[in-house]
Every structure is written in C-alpha cells, then in structure tokens.
Amino acid sequence: MTAMKCLLCSGVLALTTLATGVARAQDNPDFHPRVTPFAFGDMSWAPGNYGPSESVLRAGPFTGEVRLDVPYHYSLAAPVDHTISGSSEVFRHGEFQVTQVGLGGDLYYRGVHARVMTQFGSYSQTTPRNDPSAARGQWSLDNAYRYISEAYGGYHFDALAGINVQAGIFMSYVGLWAYYNFDNWTYQPSYVSSNTPWFFNGVRVQIYVNEHLKIEPWIVNGWQAYGQFNEAPGVGLQVRWAPTDSLIVVGNQYVGSDTLGTPGRRRVHTDDSIMARLYHRPGATGLTRIAASLTLDAGCEFGEGVAGGAAAVTCGDQYFLGFMAYARAWFLRDHLGVTVGGGAIANPGRYLVLLPPINGATAYTGTPYFTANPGDPFRAWDLQTTLDVMPTRNVTFRLEYNHRAASVPYFSGHGGVTPPTGTGTWVNQGAPGSAVMGSSPDLQPTEDRFTAALMVRL
C-alpha cells in the first residue's frame, strides 16, 4: 500500500511539475512575441481559423501539433478503378483512406522561430503530381518535398505589431480555404479554392502594421511550385484586414511566369475574400453563430506561345474567372455546424484546371484525352452541404454531399480513368498519361458524391 501511494504521489508530482512548467513557458517572454496580432477577439468562426484554443502539446519554446484526416468518399458513379478525379482533396471511391497525417509544430525562442509539419497519407502522392516544375532538371524535387507540407524558419522583429521574415515552404491561403480540411467549413472546396495554390516555396515578410492589419509580400519559385518554371520567380502580396472580430477582408495578388519552358508568358491573378460573422450568441443552447464568406477570383495568361513557333496567347484565350460563396450556422454551444454553398469558374485554356489522372497523367505529362490548349473551353459549377459534429475543438465528425458539373466531360464515370488489364485489375500502362490502344477513360460532365470524415487536431 505504501509503495502504491508513493507511486501515485510520484505521478501526481510529475503531472504537477509538467503543468507548472507549461504555465511558466506560456508566461516566459522568451517563448512568444511581445504582441499577438489579430488576438483582440474570437475569430475561430472564420474559414481556415478553426482549431483548439490552446495546445495540449506545449512545453517551453515548442508547441506541438498533430493532425489526422480519415475520410470515406462515395461517388454515385461508382468508378470501377475507385479513382476520383478533378479534386485536390478527394481521391478514392468506396474506401477508407488517410488523406493527411501531420506531425510537427512551432518553435519560438527570442525571436527565432520555425515551423515543420509532415505530409503523410494521400496528400504526399497527390499534391506533388500537380506541380510540373519538378520536371526541370535533376534531384527529384517532387520526392524531396513529398512528405513535407510546411517547413520554414525565420526571425521576429519587435517593430510595429511584429515583423516576421521567413523562408521555406509555407501555406499560401490563396483561395481562402486552408490546406488542412479540419480547419475549413467544408471538406471539398469550390473550384476557386481547389484550383489555386496551397503552398509556396520561397520567402515572405509578414508586416503586422497593428493588431488589425497584416501586409505580406512574397518572392516564390512559382505557382504551387517546388522548383522554378522559367528564369523569373513569382511575386505576390497578401493583405489581411480585420477591423473587428466579426469582419475580415483578405486580398491576394500574384504575378509570375508559370508555363514550363515558356519564359515569355506571364500569369496574373487576383483572389479576394470577405468574411462576416452575422450573428453571435456565445454559450446559447440553440443557434450560437451565423457567418458567411464570398471569394472572387480573376486572372489570365498572355504572351509567348508554346514551343514550335505557336502564336502568342492573349487574355481572351487564357483567363480565369470564378467565385465561391458559403453560409454557416453553429448550434448547441458550437458543437454542431451546418454549411451550404458552392461556386463556379470559367477557365478557357484550362491552365488552372486540375488534370484528371488518366493512365497516371500528371501536370507535366498531360494526356491526349483531356487537352489544355489555348482556348480549350472549360466552365464548371458546384454545390455543397456539410454537417459537422464537434464534441470538442480537437475533433470533427463530418458528413458532406457534393454536386459538381462541368461544360465538358471531366469527372470519373463508372468506367474509371485507369486502363483495364482484362484480369479484373486496373493499372497504368505505358508512359504516364499516354494513350492506350483499345482503351479510353470514362469522363462524365457531372459528379455526385458523399463524404464522411473523422478529423483530429491536437
């Protein structure tokens, strides 16, 4: 009995010591900036902001983070190869899969800081295939960065409300929705979010003018690019303004040269969002919050034609116009959330359309079954409705329905997008993206899909 009491005493003492250490770490000015921008109110309602208010993995200068995203997607087309196309978040039909396993966190000590987050699961395979820049030269950049979603370091200057100079791979937030599905109002974003960059590889300077305003210029390799498409880097700017904790305005601007091997072609893009919390009644047992968001995108490519002396392209051949709009309501002290919304795009030339993975096609290989020539037509629209159950701010159970449509056959039909072998299997044949004699993909103009997901963030 005495030994057991001593053991219990040791355990209590260890927990008490740990708790005291964490409390001291949180109070230690060496372990956090002097000013925390955008901390004047609760903005957890905004897309990309949801998460635990405090980390249970904090100790000293390190704040740990663990993410796990496990979905089950069911397409009503029931593709025989279980491959879903046209999405940067949804990949397999009729199976339990792991989209993302993230392990990492943030380190801050006397202004020096770093963030690392791993990328295991489906994202480690599907995200690199959308970047053709890795095909330029040696060292397999798509493999070198495959298992990393974020990795950057920097220094914090105590000027204004804080200035951070950072270099590495960081989230772009062009398109409003975050890269991690846990943080968003829906699992499948609309096209203007799903088709714009999730990450940048380069340098950024975060200038917090005050606790309400951030100005963030970027110099990056390119449009969601591990490497550089041509000789010129991409440049961009984000401005985030929150006059109150119920209104947020974000503007992203980008200029680059992002057609591989075509240095004389330029890309311009603007992505602008407004988010508003329309109703707020904390602690209510019924309706607690209502919020809405609107995102508008526009851009184009112009200049040099592709190799071989092709005519120059104009913004009439290659442009992008789109929007997405969502409304969300929270109930039962924010333990239940309901979201409805959708959007539409027009993208002639298809330069931002996600290439269907037909016979293993990637953004570099292309495929004759779905071309991306100047002027090739593409318009699309979608609708989503999402139900979230959130027992705590560390876990979300999500059920979602998506209807998506395009002006051309684009989504996986019942026949799938992988060549059959004739023996009951479907595998890629020949060079990635190439035509296969006697086989063609089953692409359809519409898709209806259900998603159930369990997402954890600690």
Domain that holds residue 448: 30-457
Q: Report which of 150, 156, 148, 154 is spatially closest to residue 167, judged by C-alpha positions.
A: 154
In this structure, are residues 411 and 419 in contact, taking their beta carbons and an 8 Å threshold? Answer: no
Report the DSSP pairing between strands 199-210 and 287-303.
Answer: unpaired
In this structure, are residues 141 and 133 in contact, taking their beta carbons and an 8 Å threshold? Answer: yes
The answer to whether residue 90 sits within a structural domain is yes
DSSP alpha helices (H): ranges in 138-228? Answer: 141-144, 191-194
Q: Report which of 167, 234, 169 is spatially closest to residue 205, judged by C-alpha positions.
A: 167
Residue-level pLDDT at 30:
87
Q: Tokens at residue 157, please?
A: 């200057």
Residue-level pLDDT at 16:
36
The answer to whether residue 6 sits within a structural domain is no
In this structure, are residues 203 and 170 in contact, taking their beta carbons and an 8 Å threshold? Answer: no
The answer to whether residue 187 sits within a structural domain is yes
Question: Tell me, what amino acid is at 353?
Answer: V
Return the higher-pLDDT residue of 140 and 22: 140
Structural domain total, the chain: 1
255, β-bridge pairs: 235, 268
For the chain, give the percent of residues with pLDDT over 70.
93
The answer to whether residue 10 sits within a structural domain is no
- Residue 84, judged by CB atoms within 10 A of its CB (0-12, 13-18, 19+), counts as buried
Q: How far apart are CA 145 and CA 432, in angstroms?
A: 21
CA distances from 73 to 76, 316, 398, 450 (A): 10, 37, 11, 6
Non-local (6+) Cβ contacts of 136 within 8 A are: 227, 228, 229, 260, 261
Q: How far apart are CA 26 and CA 113, in angstroms?
A: 15
DSSP alpha helices (H): ranges in 190-259? Answer: 191-194
Question: Tell me, what amino acid is at 53?
Answer: S
Q: Tokens at residue 240, please?
A: 């985030």
CA distances from 175 to 15, 171, 234, 250, 254 (A): 43, 11, 17, 10, 12
Residue-level pLDDT at 309:
63
The answer to whether residue 48 sits within a structural domain is yes
Non-local (6+) Cβ contacts of 10 within 8 A are: none
**Residue-level length of the chain:** 458
Q: How far apart are CA 169 and CA 151, in angstroms?
A: 5
Least confident interval from 21-25, 270-274, 406-410:
21-25
pLDDT beyond 50 at 20: no
Mean pLDDT of the chain: 91
Q: Tokens at residue 155, please?
A: 């220094």
In this structure, are residues 427 and 418 in contact, taking their beta carbons and an 8 Å threshold? Answer: yes
The answer to whether residue 4 sits within a structural domain is no
The answer to whether residue 19 sits within a structural domain is no
Q: How far apart are CA 58 and CA 65, in angstroms?
A: 9
- Coil vs helix vs strand at 134: helix
The answer to whether residue 25 sits within a structural domain is no
- Residue 275, judged by CB atoms within 10 A of its CB (0-12, 13-18, 19+), counts as buried
pLDDT, tens only, 113-132 = 999 999 999 999 999 999 99
CATH of the domain at 187: 2.40.160.10
pLDDT beyond 50 at 21: no
How much is the pTM? 0.89
Q: In the structure, what pLDDT confidence band is assigned to residue 6 with cuts at 50, 70 and 90?
A: very low
Residue-level pLDDT at 389:
98
- Which residue's structure tokens are 């200029």? 255
Q: Report which of 281, 303, 300 is spatially closest to residue 291, judged by C-alpha positions.
A: 281
Sign of the CA dihedral with 144 first, then 145, 147, and 150 last: positive
- In 221-310 the beta strands, taken as DSSP E runs, fall at 234-244, 247-256, 265-280, 287-303
